[in-house]
Amino acid sequence: MSAPVPALAEVVAQMRVVSLPLATRFRGVDHREAVLVEGPEGWAEFSPFLEYDDAESATWLAAALDFAWNPQPAGRRAAIPVNATVPAVAAADVPGVLARFDGCRTAKVKVAERGQSLDDDIARVAAVRAEMGAEARIRIDANGGWNVDEAERAAHALAEFDLEYVEQPCASVDELAEIRRRLRDWDIPIAADESVRKAADPLRVARAGAADILVVKAQPLGGVRRALDIVQAAGLPAVVSSALDTSVGLAQGAALAAALPSLEFDCGLGTAALLAVDVAEPRLAAAGGVILASRVEPEAELLDAHTACSDRVAWWRERVARCHALLS
């Protein structure tokens, strides 16, 4: 039985809305807005992207309320290995991005950016390989930006860089199944992200044989417990990732990574490095290639310094109220 949803008045009483500038433009934005809320168990984050509707966003709110109001599953590890994340930057900018991720042995490189070409992707991945060396692991993330033929061509072109896996090369489960079939002889695994976190049935991708790996995120999947249930039911190895969270939100992801029965891959939880400022000092960023699985308490001074403007605070309050009504 799920825990009761706390009253809306209780939620908004300790709610703070922040707007944080990014160090590098990412997902088409240069600021990240988030709601931080404090409950009996500590702080949690609610930060669905602005374009998401209320039905999808309510799942993110459920995750935040569960993390702030309820004890979480026991952790199996204290330190979580994390990957560097390279946005769709020019190849010349890659060394500066990687320098923010202390000790990381894996890089996730964004590809298939709108307005860019496969040549841009190849140059970026080549720059990552040159900077990190032959022993590093490189995975690419297309965010569903290719059709099957484009994905096959890109995977063949990038195979020389010894890809760990390709994340969400195509948008649909059927397309993922087809590109996985085409790439089987190339020994390039397929990871599913949007086909899990944005799907009405997050297990369909596993049943269809459309992925080798699941990418799971605590917020979009409704919290640590539900994400653990999905991984167990899917029977596939999992990579825990984030959605450009503050350090508070990254702590939710770290709790999920800590609780997984096994953790075969470095996790996408080092993304505090992509923020120019954060709500905690020190922020939950990679040190020696790992972050610690522990709750994060934001600092009052940083919350005050980065509080969103009044119009944005009102917008987020209304959004929280609408999503809360769906949960209630």
The CATH number, out of the four listed (3.20.20.120, 1.25.40.340, 3.40.33.10, 3.10.580.10), of the domain defined by the range 79-297: 3.20.20.120
Q: What is the largest CA-CA distance in the chain?
A: 56
Instruction: Please give the positions annotated as active site.
Output: 110, 217
Q: What would the mean pLDDT of 293-308 be, rounded to a whole number?
A: 98
Q: Is 193 annotated as a binding residue?
A: yes
pTM listed for this prediction: 0.96
Res. 25: pLDDT tops 90: no
**What pLDDT was estimated at residue 27?**
73
Ordered by start, the domain boundaries in the chain are 8-72+301-327, 79-297
Res. 213: pLDDT tops 70: yes
Arithmetic mean of pLDDT over the chain:
96
Q: Is 311 annotated as a binding residue?
A: no
Res. 28: pLDDT tops 80: no
Cα dihedral across residues 116, 139, 197, 308: positive or negative: negative
Alpha helices by DSSP H, 31-90: 54-69
Res. 1: pLDDT tops 50: no
Q: pLDDT tens across 47-83, in order? A: 999 999 999 999 999 999 999 999 999 999 999 999 9
Res. 19: pLDDT tops 60: yes
**What pLDDT was estimated at residue 2?**
66
DSSP code, position 91: G
**What pLDDT was estimated at residue 61?**
98
Report the alpha-carbon distance of residue 79 to residue 312 in Å, rounded: 35
Res. 33: pLDDT tops 80: yes
Identify whether the C-beta of residue 245 lies closer than 8 Å to the C-beta of residue 252.
yes
Report the alpha-carbon distance of residue 194 to residue 216 in Å, rounded: 9
Q: What angle do CA 238, 229, 285 make, to 5 degrees?
A: 45
**What pLDDT was estimated at residue 243?**
86
Question: Residue 318 CB: number of other CB atoms within 10 A?
Answer: 10
Q: What would the mean pLDDT of 255-282 be, rounded to a whole number?
A: 97
Res. 157: pLDDT tops 70: yes
**What pLDDT was estimated at residue 310?**
98
Report the alpha-carbon distance of residue 61 to residue 65 in Å, rounded: 6
What percentage of the chain has pLDDT greater than the value 90? 95
CATH class belonging to 8-72+301-327: alpha beta
Q: Is 141 annotated as a binding residue?
A: yes
Report the alpha-carbon distance of residue 44 to residue 252 in Å, rounded: 7
Identify whether the C-beta of residue 234 lies closer than 8 Å to the C-beta of residue 208.
no
Give the amino acid at 111: V
Report the alpha-carbon distance of residue 47 to residue 314 in Å, rounded: 15
Q: What angle do CA 115, 250, 314 make, to 5 degrees?
A: 75
Peptide bond into 40 cis (omega under 30): no
Give the amino acid at 131: E
